[in-house]
Amino acid sequence: DQQVKQNSPSLSVQEGRISILNCDYTNSMFDYFLWYKKYPAEGPTFLISISSIKDKNEDGRFTVFLNKSAKHLSLHIVPSQPGDSAVYFCAASVNRGSTLGRLYFGRGTQLTVWP
Amino acid sequence: DTGVSQDPRHKITKRGQNVTFRCDPISEHNRLYWYRQTLGQGPEFLTYFQNEAQLEKSRLLSDRFSAERPKGSFSTLEIQRTEQGDSAMYLCASSLSSGHNEQFFGPGTRLTVL
């Protein structure tokens, strides 16, 4: 059962515009959320994270928003650059108890930023 | 390079053979994770160590799979009697046990079972 869902397999955005990647989750026990970026033939690279006690976290061009009531988070990239083209994975974890540590991933969204 | 390293990067084997992969985590990280990723899917958790103790195993980890981290540093993942369904990218990640759960991934080992 997919506890983290990324319903858009792909997104195409023009350079300079905003990219918005979405993620939904079903497990209300998740309390920490992460975004990873993955290029072909490489492992995922950590991008940004957010704790469930916050609703927004910003790091340069990247901002993650969390809506706990809707069990929804999104990653905003502004402005988008061609080098941002990659697969973006949303991940979640429960940072307490016996399952401490394991990440649950969505299936990813392929972002293409065109000039 | 002080990141997570994995060896080999690619492995082609025949069905029924045994394979072993190695992961070297970031040196100060005491948590180490193994994940598997197949085409069109996100990484799926296999198992997790804190220091040398294996704390959790996924039901995905059949009895043909075994992982070790004998000295709390590098880890090995062995697959016995490989099957074509084992073909996947095997990813290793590491993290600190304090603070939040940012896991840092290695480049992965691509396994192809013929």
Instruction: Summarize the confidence of residues A93-113 as an average pLDDT.
Output: 84
Cβ neighbours of B31 in A, within 8 Å: 101
Residue with tokens 């290793």: B92
Other CB atoms within 10 A of residue A41 CB: 11
Tell me what the mean pLDDT of segment B8-13 comes to. Answer: 97
Q: Is A35 on the interface with B (CB under 8 A)?
A: no
H/E stretch holding B89 reads strand B88-95
Given an 8 Å threshold on Cβ–Cβ distance, is B101 in contact with A103?
yes
Q: Give the count of Cβ contacts less than 8 A between chain A and B.
A: 69
Looking at the DSSP assignment, which residues form a beta bridge with residue A41?
none
Q: What's residue B59's pLDDT? A: 86
Residue B108 at interface with chain A, using a CB cutoff of 8 Å: yes
CA–CA distance, B103 with A30 (Å, rounded to integer): 16
pLDDT value at B85 more than 90: yes
**Beta carbons within 10 angstroms of residue B14's beta carbon:** 8
Q: Would you state the structure tokens that stand for residue B33, as one six-digit string?
A: 């994770």
pLDDT tens per residue across span A72-91: 999 999 999 999 999 999 99
Mutate to test the interface with A, among B33, B61, B101, B103 (most CBs of A within 10 A): B101
- Counting every residue written for chain B, the total comes to 114
Q: Which residue has the tokens 């990723």?
A: B37
Mean pLDDT of chain A: 93
**Residue B2 pLDDT > 90:** no
